[in-house]
Amino acid sequence: MSLAAKEVYMDWKEENESIFVQGVIDCVFEDEQGLVLLDYKSDTIQGRYKGGFEQARPLIENRYKMQIDLYTKALEQIWKRKVDERYLFLFDGAHIMNI
């Protein structure tokens, strides 16, 4: 997907330039509520954060929010439909996060 650099890099100060963004969406499906975007993550949580998942949660959300926002934008542009729910699934501990 091609986007204005300012959409991807919030601190972009140069003239408006297009950049190419690419990625692979792990899973998208439709349920009773609509389209659901699910992305799998292999981040280590156990033993890395003293507070476990609750301490890691805001850091992980911050780390991946832009990626999920871009995947959402791409799906909505291509399919001309709203993405209704967005989740990260963390293999370490089998945690699911609504983004």
Residue 35 in any domain: the answer is: yes
Residue 6 covered by a domain: no
Q: Does residue 15 form part of some domain?
A: no
pLDDT value, residue 67: 92
Q: Is residue 2 part of a domain?
A: no
Separation between Cα atoms, residue 21 and residue 8, nearest integer Å: 9
Give pLDDT tens digits for 28-53.
Answer: 999 999 999 999 999 999 888 899 99
> What total number of domains does the chain contain?
1
pLDDT greater than 80 at residue 11 = no
Q: Within a domain: residue 75?
A: yes
Label residue 94 by pLDDT band (50, 70, 90): very high
Instruction: Give me the domain span that covers residue 42.
Output: 26-98
Q: pTM here?
A: 0.84
Among 1-10, 68-77, 84-93, which is the least confidently predicted range? 1-10
Residue 76 lies in a domain: yes
10, part of any domain: no
CA dist 16 → 7, 12, 71, 73 (Å): 10, 9, 22, 19
Residues 41 and 10: their CA atoms lie apart, in Å, by: 24
